[in-house]
Amino acid sequence: MQKFTEISGIVAPMDRPNVDTDAIIPKQYLKSIQRSGFGPTAFDDWRYLEPGEPGMDHSLRKLNPDFILNQAPYNQASILLARENFGCGSSREHAVWALDDFGFRAVIAPSFADIFFNNSFKSGMLPIVLDAAIVDQLFKEVAADTGYQLTINLEAQKITKPSGEVIEFDVDAFRKYCLLNGLDDIGLTLKHADDIRAYEKTRKQQAPWLF
């Protein structure tokens, strides 16, 4: 997994609540057996004017000029600013892969759907929950300043605005540790293989029908 330490980048505003994972990566692209290559079809229905299918050369498709991520400088953004319940719906981790492949490393929102939030950490993407009022203020500042950038430091758990103002954020200690070090959590869990075997031994006695 890629490490996340500190990033500075352009903030793209996506001003609507309940952005679902079907919108982030439509179903037809889930037929892929790969983990990469989803960037060109991230937000496909909103991003292009004609329907898309797997196998197309997406660089030849007509872009929707009204969609925020098609507009400079947001097409170069690495931080996505969103509203409530971002990433709701399907458990498809392809949504995180698509955002990552597009160039996003962090998403800031007042709330996230649980599964998307969890999936993000597995691909080196940092989802940051901030108070709705702070998110609202960020939307205003982004609207007032084209090319608005933020710096996110995971170690210090701090976001620095262009003005120098600092916003602190919370992150789960274990997830922070894995992100900072780019750790494979399967390897970490397998260090406890003896505990897992001991659990199985006891459980087999209590509930043999589960084995």
Nearer to other proteins by Cβ, of 145 and 172: the residue is: 172
Q: How far is the CB of 26 from other proteins (least distance, A)?
A: 6
Q: Are 32 and 93 in contact (CB under 8 A)?
A: no
- Tokens 């080196």 found at: 124
Q: How far is the CB of 191 from other proteins (least distance, A)?
A: 10
- Tokens 């903030």 found at: 11
Nearer to other proteins by Cβ, of 6 and 114: the residue is: 114
Q: What are phi and psi of 22, to 5 degrees?
A: -65, -35
Nearer to other proteins by Cβ, of 65 and 164: the residue is: 65
d(CA 93, CA 82): 18
Where does residue 85 fall: left (phi above 0), alpha (psi -120 to 50 degrees), or beta otherwise?
left
The residues of the shown chain that bind other proteins, judged by CB under 8 A, are 15-18, 20, 22-23, 26-28, 30-35, 45, 51, 54-55, 83-85, 88-94, 96, 111-115, 118-119, 122-123, 172-174, 184-186, 189-190, 192-193, 195-196, 199-200, 203, 206-211
Nearer to other proteins by Cβ, of 87 and 103: the residue is: 87
Q: How far is the CB of 171 from other proteins (least distance, A)?
A: 12
Q: How many CA atoms lie within 13 A of 68 on its CB side?
A: 17
Nearer to other proteins by Cβ, of 140 and 162: the residue is: 140
Q: How far is the CB of 210 from other proteins (least distance, A)?
A: 5
Q: How far is the CB of 35 from other proteins (least distance, A)?
A: 5
